[in-house]
Amino acid sequence: KILILDFGSQVTQLIARRVREAHVYCEIHPNDVSDDFIRQFNPKGIILSGSHASTYEDQDLRAPQAVWDAGVPVLGICYGMFTMTVQLGGEVDASSHREFGYAEVRARGHTRLFDGIEDFRTPEGHGMLKVWMSHGDKVTQLPPGFKLMASTPSCPIAGMADESRGYYAVQFHPEVTHTVRGREILGRFVLDICGAKPDWVMGDYITEAIARIREQVGSEEVILGLSGGVDSSVAAALIHRAIGDQLTCVFVDHGLLRMNEAQLVMEMFAGRLHAKVVHVDASAEFLGALAGVQDPEQKRKIIGREFVEVFQREAKKLVNAKWLAQGTIYPDVIESGGAKTKKAITIKSHHNVGGLPETLGLKLLEPLRELFKDEVRELGVALGLPPDMVHRHPFPGPGMGVRILGEVRREYAELLRRADAIFIEELRNTRDAATGKTWYELTSQAFAVFLPVKSVGVMGDGRTYDYVVALRAVQTSDFMTADWAELPYALLKKVSGRIINEVRGINRVTYDISSKPPATIEWE
């Protein structure tokens, strides 16, 4: 197993992810663990992360002496390279300005770490790597025994190695995807240089996670807000596997869910997994609070507030609960950590249950905190959840509340639910000939939107005067920007025909061809 010492970088989890991708077991621990801890951990290799701190002069940010006494390979990344340099007798200079971004690094000196790994060759025949660099402080003198491994014009010592001891350090970040061959470089380190066995699988993660959950909660009881989304579902399945009936899931139905959603969730969790699930039908309460409200932000706030109220009421009934479990995943952790700078203005207020643990006096249990979305999906499948369920498109917390424009009414929700179900069914049933994938798989998010305007139509011999539905389907990798999907005309035709024929009350269907930005994915 590999030990990752965290010096406080935002991307340390990415190192762990790359190591897991090489099927090697790893753990992240703070940089100031004790020497004893490291000896007991008995790693095959150690990786020193980067840090948000820019100064190598901070005496607290050092690797424990046991790292250098362990006799195993060590890889220093960015800050990890500085501390390695300082601790092993080299010199670092705080240079005048920091630089971040794309760089081309020249590999030097034929080390095992880079051997055969390069992005291109210069006309002079130098092997080059395309990397994500962050430099400011610079190594100015190699520690004794080290040789130069990489350089750029502005950073002459961008990588160094003492191969006799298995020590390597790079100024750039191999863990981020912008470093094109980063995954190979980290794989080379853990598999070839450390000799770690690639025998880690998701099943092992489950075993470890279960042990951790049991240790954390002991015999105490846990509640979890189950939404039917991927994250809360996987968290529920995992925790249930760990502690069975000590877990109670609370499923709040606000009346703005997709077709058959409540049934599906209940069948899956109560029926198949035999988990304790409290199904709260709070639709009357939510729809009552929303009556007459037009403004999108106000609607979101009302739904968020109602959700917290209903959830709290249910939670208080479970008097023995000591823990609140949440399906927080790693990107959520980064997002809230970096929220101050990133979210300068609120385009849309996202509702979640933040703040709930304090008011309820509960401890927080977040077993998915270190996983990325695709890992959560893999975990879900390994836990026996249906692949369809773990590969679902995201669904916003306020549900169809933000897909019914303006005032929300039960009858609108009913029409929209049916139109939406037809759209999703056809996306799932239609395959693209070129890729063999369904259009549901080929889109990142797709749904119908209810427009509370009426238009004239003709049906049979009669005139109709009914509502309009818009179809929205987008492709995106991060949901920050998105393109509308070029769905086949035949598919659109079938969907529109079915909706107009099957959903009395809708006589017109349109397709949304706006990209984000300037539009957003949802209509409200």
Residue with Cβ nearer ligand XMP (102 or 479):
479
Could you tell me which of 139, 379, 348, 98 has the C-alpha nearest to residue 235? 379
Q: Which two tokens stand for residue 496?
A: 């529109």
Does residue 327 touch ligand XMP according to CB under 6 A? Answer: no
Site for ligand XMP in 479-498 (CB under 6 A): 479
Q: Choose between 276 and 392: whose C-beta lies nearer to ligand XMP.
A: 392
Residue 515 binds to ligand XMP (criterion: CB under 6 A): no
Segment interacting with ligand XMP (CB under 6 A) among 103-111, 188-196, 432-440, 516-524: 516-524
- Contact positions with ligand XMP (CB under 6 A) in 136-195: none
Q: For 240, what's the count of Cα atoms within 13 Å in the CB-facing half-sphere?
A: 23
Residue 522 interacts with ligand XMP (CB under 6 A)? yes
Cβ neighbours around 479 below 10 Å, total: 13
Which CB atom, from 460 or from 518, has the smaller least distance to ligand XMP? 518
Closest Cα to residue 206, out of 25, 22, 2, 362?
A: 25
Please answer whether residues 43 and 72 qualify as being in contact, where contact means their C-beta atoms are separated by less than 8 angstroms: yes
Does 443 sit near ligand XMP (CB under 6 A)? Answer: no
Please tell me whether residue 516 binds ligand XMP under the rule CB under 6 A: yes
26 is catalytic: no
Instruction: State which residue, 350 or 498, has the beta carbon closest to ligand XMP.
Output: 350
| 34 marked as part of a ligand binding site | no
Instruction: Name the nearest CA neighbour of 5 among 49, 42, 64, 68.
Output: 49
Which helix (DSSP H) or strand (DSSP E) does residue 465 occupy? strand 462-475
- The interface region with ligand XMP, picked from 114-122, 209-217, 407-415, 514-522 by CB under 6 A, is 514-522
Instruction: Measure the CA–CA gap between 416 and 421, rounded to whole angstroms.
Output: 8
Q: Does 102 bind ligand XMP (CB under 6 A)?
A: no
**Amino acid identity for residue 161 in this structure:** A
Q: Which of 78, 155, 194, 249 is catalytic?
A: 78
Query: Which of 397, 422, 427, 487 is close enough to bind ligand XMP by CB under 6 A?
Result: 397
- Residue 154, marked binder: no
Does the annotation flag 9 for ligand binding? no
Out of 45, 398, 440, 503, the residue judged to bind ligand XMP by CB under 6 A:
398
Shortest CB 516 distance to ligand XMP, Å: 5
Q: SS3 for 32?
A: coil
Catalytic one of 163, 175, 306, 370: 175
Query: In whole angstroms, what is the distance from residue 224 CA to residue 234 CA?
Result: 11
Looking at the Cβ atoms of 87 and 227, the one nearer to ligand XMP is: 227
Instruction: Please tell me the distance from the alpha carbon of residue 439 to that of residue 448, in angstroms, as a whole number.
Output: 15
- Annotated catalytic, 78? yes
Q: Given the rule CB under 6 A, which of 128-136, 317-325, 361-369, 394-402 is the region that contacts ligand XMP?
A: 394-402
Q: Which residues of 63-94 are buried (b: 16+ CB within 10 A; e: fewer)?
A: bbebbeebebbbbbbbbbbbbbbbbbebebee
* Residue-level length of the chain: 524
Catalytic residue among 135, 163, 173, 370: 173
Q: Looking up tokens 């109560």, which residue turns up?
A: 270
User: Which of 396, 404, 423, 424: binder of ligand XMP (CB under 6 A)?
Assistant: 396
* Cβ contact 451:469 at 8 Å: yes
Q: For residue 231, say whether it is annotated as part of any ligand binding site.
A: yes
8 is in an annotated binding site: no
Rg, the chain, Cα only: 27
Q: Which stretch binds ligand XMP (CB under 6 A): 59-67, 159-167, 203-211, 390-398?
A: 390-398
Q: Is 283 annotated as a binding-site member? A: no
Q: What string of DSSP letters covers 74-127?
A: EEEETHHHHHHHHHTT-EEEEEEEEEEEEEEEEE-S--TTTTT--SEE-TT--E
Nearest distance from residue 291's CB to ligand XMP, in Å?
Answer: 20
Q: How far is the CB of 350 from ligand XMP (least distance, A)?
A: 4
Number of residues forming the site for ligand XMP (CB under 6 A): 14
Nearest in space to 209 (alpha carbons), one of 363, 367, 29:
367
SS3 498: helix
Distance in angstroms (rounded) separating the CA atoms of residues 119 and 179: 10
Asked if residue 351 binds ligand XMP (CB under 6 A), the reply is: yes
Q: DSSP state, 399?
A: G
Q: Per the annotation, does 233 bind a ligand?
A: yes
Told to check if 520 binds ligand XMP by CB under 6 A, we report yes
Stretch that binds ligand XMP, among 138-146, 158-166, 393-401, 491-499 (CB under 6 A): 393-401
Closest distance between ligand XMP and the C-beta of residue 176, in Å?
A: 23
Residues ≥6 apart with Cβ < 8 Å to 501: none
Beta strands 45-48 and 2-6, pairing class: parallel
Query: Of 513, 514, 273, 251, nearest to 399 (Cα)?
Result: 251
Contact string 282-321 vs ligand XMP (x = CB under 6 A): ------------------x---------------------
Residue numbering of the annotated binding site for ATP: 227-233
Residue numbering of the annotated binding site: 227-233
Interface positions with ligand XMP (CB under 6 A): 300, 348, 350-351, 394, 396-398, 445, 479, 516, 520-522
The residues carrying an active-site annotation are 78, 173, 175
